[in-house]
Amino acid sequence: MIQNDLLLKSLQGEPVNRPPVWMMRQAGRFLPSYQRLREKYDFFTRCQTPELVADITCLPVDELGVDAAILFSDILVVPQAMGAHIDMQEGRGPVIHQPIEKPEDVNRLEEPDVTHTLGYVFQGIRATLEKLNGRVPLIGFAGAPWTLLCYLVEGKGSAGFEQARAFCYRYPDAAHALLEKITRVTIAYLQHQVKAGVHCVQVFDSWAGLLGPEGFRQFAEPYLQQIARSLSAFCPVILFPKGAWFGLASLCHSGAAAIGIDWQTDAGFARKATNHQLTLQGNLDPVVLLTDPATIRRQTFRMIQAFGKEKYIANLGHGILPQTPVENARAFVQAVQSFSESWID
């Protein structure tokens, strides 16, 4: 029994008194309590130690009072399990050694038994559920195939992932073979997260908007659709195709329960594009949390009024910024939780 089930009600389209609220990247870098753990343990040790996963996942529940926890992990654990050698370098982010450059390089990646290669994630889920003790739902997640391809081909983070995009257009057959391979592993991975106990899952397609409409239809959308259809019978699925406003209408037919909206997409447009069929999530600009509590409250109320409190999950339009003051993150959560439809600007 979940004590606070607002998130699950919103995903199911049930009436709520107010929207649920959580924040992408809430279990991490902006929290001093997380920074202390970061000083003691390297990144993948944090991801692979169930007790640390449970502690970090629960930090924003304990310290901010959010309505949902999202598992502390990383999207790159999937390519790592498939055989990619990945380092997380301070100040640089992920570095993938021997990135995919030619079609034959796709064959280097394996389709592992996720119960073995990613078993530590499922152990972390069980440890987290024990620590949460039914207070709020637990969200599992994975990276979308297109976003994972970006890192595997580029070899590192990038503003535009030009090499990854060029690879897809130059070698479309190899790109689809890689995307299909990632998709199969991701589906198995998320299904085992559900078996371990997560209450819903989110698929992060952080670089979907880089493709444009045609590229999105070719290299991103089919795989998001496949994942959502494969998981929706087991739990609610949230898709977050950042920047891909042009894909909202087609993703309505994916079986997803919700779609995450970035801060550059208008709430009214998103509702119209999805024909009011799905729950929407988002889309406060993360920089609003760098201002002050009064501004945060005002902008948060405006956002909720724009989306409406039904079939809506309050969140940021992308991950919380590392320089965000904890008190400002708390002000955002409290603003959502105090929202009243009678509020007038």
Q: How far apart are CA 268 and CA 271, in angstroms?
A: 5
Mention every residue, 6+ apart, whose C-beta is less than 8 A from residue 76: 84, 86, 94, 143, 148, 151
Evaluate whether residue 345 is within a structural domain. Answer: no
Evaluate whether residue 152 is within a structural domain. Answer: yes
Evaluate whether residue 342 is within a structural domain. Answer: no
Evaluate whether residue 344 is within a structural domain. Answer: no
Residues in the chain: 345
Catalytic residues, which ones?
Answer: 25, 29, 38, 74, 151
Evaluate whether residue 343 is within a structural domain. Answer: no
Residue 151, annotated as binding a ligand: yes
Residue 312, annotated as binding a ligand: no
pTM above 0.95? yes
Evaluate whether residue 119 is within a structural domain. Answer: yes
Per-residue CA distances from 233 to 7, 86, 174 (Å): 18, 33, 30
Q: How many domains are there within the chain?
A: 1
Residue 5, annotated as binding a ligand: no
pLDDT for position 341: 62
Please, what are the averages of pLDDT over each run of 10 residues along the chain (345 residues)?
Answer: 96 96 95 94 94 98 98 97 90 89 97 98 98 98 98 95 98 98 98 98 98 97 98 97 97 96 97 96 98 97 96 98 97 94 51
Give me 102's structure tokens. 């030619």
H/E stretch holding 141: strand 138-143
CATH number of domain containing 300: 3.20.20.210
Beta bridge partners of 241: 205
Helix, strand, or coil here: 86? strand
Residue 97, annotated as binding a ligand: no
Evaluate whether residue 237 is within a structural domain. Answer: yes
Structural domain boundaries enclosing 272: 6-337
